Structure 1
Amino acid sequence: MSGARTPVGPSERGPAKQTVTISFAGFNRAWAAWIGDRLERRGHRVVYQRWDSPAEVPLVELLRDLTLAKGRILIVVSEWYFQLGPRTHDEWNAALREVVAPDPSRFAAVSVTNSTLPTATTVLGAVDLNNMGADEAERRVLERLDLPSDPLPEAAEGTRRGPRFPAAMPEVWGGVPRRNTRFTGREPLLNEAYHLLQGAEAGAGVVTLHGMSGVGKTQLAAEYVYRFGSEYDVVWWVNAEKRVTYRRRLAELAPQLGLTTGAEYGERLRAVRDSLRRGDPYARWLLILDGADEPDQIYDLVPTGPGHVLITSRNPEWSEHNSRLLEVPVYARDESVAFIRRRAPRLTEPEADQLAEALEDLPLLLDQTAGWLNDSDLSVQEYIALLDGGIDQDVVKVSADFPVAFQTAWSILLNKLRDTVPESVDLLRLCTFFAPGFIPVRLLKEMPHDQLPEQIAGLLNDPLLWNRAINQLRQYSVVRLESHEAAGDEAASSGESLYLHRMVHQIVHKDMPDEDRREFIDVVRRALAAADPRRPTDTRLWPGYAEIAPHLKYADVLQSDDPTVQRLVFNCLRYMYISGEYVAGIKLGERAMETWRALLGDTHPRIWELTHHYANLLRAVGDYERTEALERAAVDHLRQERGEHDLDHLRAVGGLAADLRGLARYDEALERSEWLLTAYRDLLGETDSRTLNAQNNVAVSLRLLGRYDEVLEIDRRMLEARRALLRGRHPWTLYSEIAYATDLRLLGRYTEAESIQAKSVREHRIVMGADHPETLRAEHNLALCQYRAGDRTRAGAMLAGVLERSERVLGENHPTTLSFAVSESCFAREHGDIDRAREVGEAVVARYEMLLAEGHPYLAGARANHALVLRSVGERQSAHAAVEQSLAEMTAAVGERHPWTLGCAVNASALRNLVGDPESAAELGHLTVVRATEMLGRVHPLTLSARIALAADLRGLREHQQAEKFEQEALEDLAATLGAQHVHTISARSRNRPFWDFEPYIT
């Protein structure tokens, strides 16, 4: 007896520990998990048994198998438990009487439904868990199992977090579609997705449900949420078809997480991603990215952290982006049969099998077909005969993935809709002139309804008819009605946010009379034009343009001669340019140029306006030769037709000057910009935005010519004027802040520059978003300010981050990315990562050689930087040859007094010394100091570097007295200008020879 233990906490109501087998339908897994967790906390053993009811096995046998389990059997009673099979109530009543009634003590039950159940379920004695809190529900479960219900000690209660009480929603819940009450099967997929996510390491919990259209990926993801959502504190559903809508929807999570941010979604997005990464305030989060078919567009925005991400996609490339793939096939035949019989109870099991065979088990098609077939007098055999015979001669696959019968099945369904509620077909056809996916049908209701076709005006003006059409489409699963980020729950419930599957979209769009096509496309074009926010420069209105832009292609707006529709196209192009959506903008611009030239002629006024917007987008990606040809043609034609002072001509001149700057024809660009500024001042006055833009472009040309003092004053006046006339957060004002801070930095006023640029970075992130090209420019300039000021730790991290994001957002060959890469290579070289410096530097040179003509100063400067890498690895002769070539090319490109040429000369004198030519080095050094002093002033950082370098050259010639004098004077000026403890001053004091890094300007 010495080793015996007395049971803890005995109860007269039953043993302290029991084995309980919980039997539940998969639909009710959350209840089973919660009940099991409550029992296990009290020391009881729990066995989970997911109830399945294959039709071929008699129900009595299945129940008897259940009695083989040890201990008490607790059944989670709901309509789902009794629908599996499907089984009739009579079958269930008979089986319950035969198996349960003779030994009712083995069974217990809890009810989680208010639906009508088989009458014999009373033998289970189920206790109701509906409409109560967790504590009372737990007490009832324990009481039904004859177990003690004493409260657990606080310590025991807090040892771990279990599943949430199923009746309690997660603390944050948004955008999740309504639960599909006809969801069938998919148990292995649901369980595998669950185990993959739960078993993933922190930061790697990403699973992609991959499969063809119509296979049920979205429904599977929604069912996963409802089954396992109680284990999360945050569940957030995101439409991820487009990057811009994904960004906005994710940003909307910020206030739900209690994050304090500004109103701009760029700032909110950054805060949300950081919060999810840290798991603060919620570590248990689930993010669902629905319809993410383009991984390259959004993979960089997928949050990492302790939570989980579930993606639905047709694209298997997610496996290359830190995601586990889980293929979603068509239904297994037993799943198809069970689903059809739920959807169409009048069909027998053999009929359901025949229908599934004919429709190739595709869930979407099964859903739509079975829905109307259940209400039809048509037999399954007659319907299959229609499919086999066809009701028109054009029975083709919409896609290689789709069943051959799909179009024929849809023709049958459309006939059914047309016969019952013809307006539903009109609405459906209207929807196909929007992009597939979420359809902003509220735009139709918000547009002016005068002069609309009679049947459309009637539909839009009659709420009863509208709702009837919507409900008809919902009844047969043609559309889904659910919440959407652009509309919200209230709008969705009133039928203003519909989801149309792309497969259905294609079929309906194809099967449309020409007369309807002409009328309906005109309606949608007018709806989009009416929704135009009309101010593409206002960042607060960008979400409106982001919503409209995807639909332009499907409404074929370029074929419209309506001026309001054409104005919408211009505004969208302007939005795409300012917001950094260059690729999409170029595609739209290319299509517009081709279409409108054919529609309007080569010299129509609209063509010249289109040329301006299209050239801006091409110039933004560095295609200067193409834009120069476009703008020069515009300038020549408009000057000849309208005269020099026509506003369209002046705008074309400004574009041409920008092209010349891109082509490094800086003097010519400055000449045109100065002429343009005078013309605008005479026509419009000093404060017109076009005059200010012209003044800005004069400053850009002067900066490229190295005339930094002149530029600083112009940019200071520009910044003040834009702050006064526009607003502090207007894009042009923010642009001027970067320009002014850059000028200060180039003049060596690093502390002032950093102060202004740090503020500007914050404003850019708020207004533009973290990954906007202008935000990247702002961060890059801030990093260079920090670098020059001596804060190299922060600068290095920011330079690397900016380059990585620019490569992702803009591409490796974009001019902005290349300028960032130049800085990264120089930083890596200076801080000992010579392999990184060489890798990046060689890539930059190769890309510039591909993109720029020989003799371009950027190519010469990149080669000068690479020469310093070669020097660092000991390849002296190669380095010397490279730097001499760069010096010659830079001199030819921009002249011998340009700061870039002077910088190349500083490097060249060092390499001449290194290869044993000190006389030539000192001669070049003297000349460089004289020219730098004349061009930049005695105490400019580049002049100071040249003076320190010359002292070293003089020592190499053993002219120690003169070297000492030069060095001492330079050190005094360095200390006075940059500070005695600045890294450049300390380095010069240690007699480390200075070098110059070429920096390509982003214009």
Structure 2
Amino acid sequence: MARWWRRRAAEDGEAVGAEPPRSRQEHEDGREHGHEPGHEYGDRPPGPPQPGPDAQEPAHGSGNARRLSGGRLTLTDVTEGRPEQEIISVQLSAEEIRTMRARSAIDTLGPEHPDTLVALRELAEALLSVPGRGAEAVELYQHVARTQWTTLGERHEETLRTSAELAGALHTTGQLSLAETAWRDTFRAQAETLGRDHPDTLRSATRLAAVLQDLGRAPEAEPLVGDVLARRVRQLGRDHPDVLSTTNAHAAALLKCGRHQEAERILRSLVPRLEDRYGRDHEKTIAARSNLGAVLVRLDRHAEAEEQIRAVVRSTEATLGPDHDTTFTARNNLAAVLHAQERYEDAVPVLRAILAGRAALHGDDHPITVVTRDNLANVLIDAGHHAEAAELLDRCVHDYRRLHGPGHPRLRAAEERLAWLRSP
């Protein structure tokens, strides 16, 4: 395994990453979500504004993040002959509780004890869920990974687990190039140690595919997801929940590769199976219906697409609330189908609200916020609001360069649209 987590700055010896932190965690709780929810606009062709949307999945569905709960610390007076009396009770966040556990483990067991490293890893998980503390979480994961590498060995179960969680943290904080390397190394190590069919190996393959999709390399991602699906079908059968989730993920991968008819065929079969098993408003059913709506947009069947997507918006608002990331994705997809129908003035306020919501949820610099800003700029171009669109695209160019580096398709597309807007 390449020591990607040991990267150091030459001048000060500190661990460094490619990008600054974003907020919010994307953590798997034993299930493989496989980029299930919906689609977003993707890269637009360069040149003059184009009337139709281009669909893609959101950057790593944060709506699937595990919610970490805190607890209450109570000090009670217990005196013989008298009833217990509560002296003070303090509500603690998950971060505070895990900080206390980690400090206690360091003091009682030592900084390199296996249980201390587990406590530190759990603290990193909590930090990753706190807006603005992603960089600290990544540094803590790196510390645990380095220590486990030297004390337990590179192929130990706990080392591999930390490697996977660190790879996920790099992805969550927008460090996509490092995340790709991390997931590749973790996937390779798990395949060699645990086997290609092990659930952890399959999860890592799917997460690697998600990073490749976020890097704009969907054709590389699709075979990985297809292989995971085939292995899970062999192991678990066609109707197992993990197989149903992976089937939807594969349909989404096909969608991103432009294989729309294949994706539609899979989703037409999948949606009724999910409705029968979970109901129309379950998150898995919503995800598949979102992807079906995306396929219909791509196939220019806009009336069908709008019907599907409006139903998804109603379901997500009712079950998850108006400010959940999956709800934002559903509304974004509604804006996409409105855009495809050239109803630009209807799409603009939808995207403005999504951008404000995602900025509040993730921060202005998070990758999904940047993509939403790009989406709004696209619609503003077609609505004729060129000055505002140029202002938004200028910011997107800087953000894409920071997130992806030079030459990325999204960066090139944004630069070319901005140049067209500013041309005489």
**Equivalent residue, structure 1, for 2:221:** 711
**Within 1, Cα distance between the matches of 2:238 and 2:177?**
32
Separation in structure 1 between the aligned mates of residue 131 and residue 333 of structure 2, nearest angstrom: 19
d(CA) in 1 for partners of 2:324 and 2:138? 18
Task: Evaluate the alpha carbon distance shift between residue 657 and residue 752 of structure 1 in structure 2; reply closer, same or farther with a 3 A threshold.
Answer: same
Match for residue 189 of structure 2?
679
1:721 shift after superposition: 0.6
Work out whether 1:666 is the aligned partner of 2:176.
yes
Partner of 2:237: 727
Equivalent-residue separation in structure 1 for 2:352 and 2:184 (angstroms) = 37
Query: Which amino acid is the alignment partner of residue 586 of structure 1?
Result: S
Q: How does 1:919-998 map to 2 (within 5 A)?
A: none
**What is the match of residue 792 of structure 1?**
302
Unpaired stretches in structure 2, ≥5 consecutive residues: 1-28, 33-62, 72-91
Q: 1:586 aligns with which of 62, 69, 92?
A: 69
Check conservation: 1:783, 1:799, Cα contact below 8 A.
yes
Q: Is the 8 A contact 2:251 2:267 kept in 1?
A: yes
Superposed CA deviations along residues 919-942 of structure 1, whole A, max 9, x for unmatched, are xxxxxxxxxxxxxxxxxxxxxxxx
Aligned residues of 1:855 and 1:890 also touching (Cα < 8 A): no
Could you tell me whether the CA contact under 8 Å between 2:297 and 2:340 is conserved in 1? no
Cα contact 2:177–2:404 (8 A) shared by 1: no
**Residues 658/879 of structure 1: CA separation in 2 closer, same or farther (3 Å cut):** same
Q: Deviations over 1:827-875 (max 9, x none)?
A: 2333354454222211222233334455544333222222233334432
Q: Which residue of 1 aligns with 2:326?
A: 816
Are residues 658 and 868 of structure 1, via their aligned partners in 2, closer, same or farther at CA, if it must alter by over 3 Å?
same
Is 1:771 aligned to residue 281 of structure 2?
Answer: yes
RMSD: 3.8
Q: TM-score, normalised by structure 2?
A: 0.67
Distance 1:866 1:659 in 2: 28
Preserved contact between residue 286 and residue 312 of structure 2 (Cα < 8 Å): yes
AA in 2 matched with 1:601: A
Match of 1:206 in 2: none
**Aligned partner letter, 2:159:** H
Cα deviations by residue, 1:232-285 (Å, 9 ceiling, x for unpaired): xxxxxxxxxxxxxxxxxxxxxxxxxxxxxxxxxxxxxxxxxxxxxxxxxxxxxx
| Contact 2:380 2:389 survives alignment (8 Å) | yes
Change (3 A) 1:718 1:537: closer
Distance in 2 of aligned mates of 1:581 and 1:890? 24
Q: For 1:707 and 1:881, how far apart are their aligned partners in 2?
A: 27
Change (3 A) 1:676 1:883: same
Deviations along 1:731-772, one digit per CA (max 9) or x if unpaired, are 432332222212211121111011112333333334444434
The answer on whether the counterparts of 2:94 and 2:126 sit within 8 Å (CA) in structure 1 is no
Matches of 2:318 and 2:119, distance apart in 1: 28
1:740 equivalenced with 2:250 (yes/no): yes
Structure 2 CA distance for partners of 1:678 and 1:598, relative to 1, 3 Å: closer
Query: Which runs of structure 2 are paired with 1:146-165 in the superposition (5 Å)?
Result: none
Give the secondary-structure state (helix, strand or coil) at the position aligned to 2:69: helix
Deviation sequence 1:74-121 (CA, Å, 0-9, x none)? xxxxxxxxxxxxxxxxxxxxxxxxxxxxxxxxxxxxxxxxxxxxxxxx
- Secondary structure of the 2:384 match is coil
**1:127-171 superposed Cα distances (whole Å, 9 cap, x missing partner):** xxxxxxxxxxxxxxxxxxxxxxxxxxxxxxxxxxxxxxxxxxxxx
CA distance in 2, matches of 1:731, 1:675: 27
2:97 partner letter? E
Aligned residue identity for 2:215: L
Q: Distance in 1 between matches of 2:365 and 2:204?
A: 28
Q: CA deviation at 1:704?
A: 1.4
Contact between 1:841 and 1:862, CA under 8 Å: does it hold in 2? yes
1: distance between equivalents of 2:386 and 2:103? 62
Deviation at 1:702, TM superposition (A): 1.4
Contact 1:653 1:676 in 2 (8 A): yes
CA contact 1:857–1:894 (8 Å) conserved in 2: no
Cα distance between partner residues in 2 of 1:593 and 1:898: 39
1:862-901 equivalences in 2 (<5 Å)? 862-901=372-411
Indicate yes or no: 2:417 matched with 1:911. no
Cα offsets for 1:278-310 (capped at 9, x unmatched): xxxxxxxxxxxxxxxxxxxxxxxxxxxxxxxxx
The correspondence of residues 343-492 of structure 1 with structure 2, limited to 5 A, is none
Q: Is the 8 A contact 1:702 1:710 kept in 2?
A: yes
The count of residues paired between Structure 1 and Structure 2 equals: 339
Q: Select which of 101, 104, 107 maps to 1:597.
A: 101
Structure 1 801/725 Cα, relative in aligned 2: closer, same or farther at 3 Å? same
Residue identity matched to 1:883? L
Mark the CA change 1:712 to 1:833 in structure 2 (over 3 Å): closer, same or farther. same
Secondary structure in 2 matching 1:690: helix
The answer to which of 851-860 and 701-710 deviates more is 851-860
Gapped runs of 5+ residues in structure 1?
A: 1-534, 539-578, 918-1003
Map of 1:760 onto structure 2: 270
Distance 1:704 1:694 in 2: 15
Aligned residue type for 1:815: D
CA contact 2:332–2:354 (8 Å) conserved in 1 = yes
Match of 1:698 in 2: 208
- Structure 1 distance, partners of 2:252, 2:414, is 21
Amino acid at match of 1:729: D
The answer to whether the aligner puts 1:828 opposite 2:332 as a matched pair is no
Select the structure of larger CA radius of gyration.
Answer: 1
Cα distance, 1:665 vs. partner?
0.8
Query: What are the equivalent positions in structure 2 for 1:122-133 lying under 5 Å apart?
Result: none
SS in 1 for 2:226: helix
Per-residue CA shift, 1:799-834, capped at 9, x if unaligned?
223233334433444433333332222323333544
Alignment of 1:316-327 (within 5 A): none
**TM-score (normalised: structure 1):** 0.31
Higher relative contact order (CA 8 A, sep 6+): 2
Deviation at 1:612, TM superposition (A): 6.8
Instruction: Mark the CA change 1:606 to 1:793 in structure 2 (over 3 Å): closer, same or farther.
Output: farther
Aligned equivalents of 2:317, 2:143: Cα separation in 1:
33
What corresponds to 2:39 in structure 1?
Answer: none
Q: Return the alpha-carbon distance in structure 2 between the equivalents of residues 863 and 537 of structure 1.
A: 30
Tell me which moved more, 900-909 or 717-726. Answer: 900-909
The answer (yes or no) to whether the contact 2:255–2:295 under 8 Å persists in 1 is yes
Where 1:586 maps in the other structure, the secondary structure is coil
